Chain A
């Protein structure tokens, strides 16, 4: 990888990216290694928020807003409810991992190594030109309601089915 301060690279943007990325990775590691379920959920909020800010850096405003609203607003609340409804203990737990959790380390390392190697091999040194202005919501909605209309409708049904299914599954008879 070439220098951080190459001429055509927006330094501020790059530095911001690295800081947020570092926080995200740390948070993600805490999510999968922490001993406290509630803390893990809160670290997940950090990661998801970091993802939202990366979206902003990538000029994806609409997706960033959706990320905040759907993930941090709705999904996280669901998770917290799930934790509270299934576990009485809010403190630390010792048996959050499997007996043979260590299989995960080689698999994850192998996977990460492969992916990084492939990515660097393909895109190493390629510089992205930042778009002049963020992707307009109009453009997104055009795609949604023209080419993507059928998947959009299908997705609506998926959501409806999921909502009904979740109610049917979770309610006490």
Chain B
């Protein structure tokens, strides 16, 4: 297999995720786009681990998975609270920094 395969796939996933973060209005959708970005990074880590034949890339990928899980948990809790307070999770309406 070519080394570039994984890397290019990851790059494209990353770009798509960035597009989602920029374009989406719904906070949950933005969180999903962030998941795409994190997964593309994981793909890279695994690819590099395979190139170097070392377990460290795997370990890092697992770290990222754990952090991503925490991030989704907290992120969704915040979204829920915002929704409860404002009846909306449209990000462009959340431009004032006070409650």
Do A and B interact directly, with beta carbons closer than 8 Å?
A: yes
Please provide the chain A residues from 43 to 86 with a CB less than 8 Å away from any CB of chain B in the complex.
Answer: 44, 47-48, 51, 54-55, 57-60, 62-63, 66-67, 70-71, 74-75, 78-79, 81-83, 85-86
Q: Interface residue count for B (Cβ, 8 Å)?
A: 71
A33 CB → nearest B CB, Å:
8
Interface string of B14-37 (1 = CB under 8 A from A): 111111111111111101110110
Say if the beta carbon of A143 comes within 8 Å of chain B.
yes
Q: From A96, A107, A111, A135, give the contact of B26 (CB < 8 A).
A: A96
Selected from A25, A58, A115, A167, the residue in CB contact (under 8 A) with B50 is A58
CB-based contact A14/B24 at 8 Å: no
Separation in Å of the B60 CB from the closest CB of chain A? 9
Q: Interface size bucket, A side?
A: 35 or more
Assembly CA distance A79 to B15 (angstroms): 21
Residues of B near A75 (CB, < 8 A) are 35, 68-69, 72
Residues of B within 8 Å of A151, CB to CB, are 63
B14 and A116 contact, CB distance less than 8 A: no
Is the Cβ of A66 less than 8 Å from the Cβ of B12? no
Residue-wise, chain A 137-153 has the 8 Å CB interface mask toward B (1 for contact) of 00110111000100100
List chain A positions with a Cβ less than 8 A from chain B.
Answer: 1, 9-10, 13-14, 17-18, 21, 24-25, 28-29, 31-32, 37, 40-41, 44, 47-48, 51, 54-55, 57-60, 62-63, 66-67, 70-71, 74-75, 78-79, 81-83, 85-87, 95-99, 101-105, 107-109, 111-112, 115-116, 119-120, 123-128, 130-131, 135, 139-140, 142-144, 148, 151, 155, 158-159, 161-163, 165-167, 169-170, 172
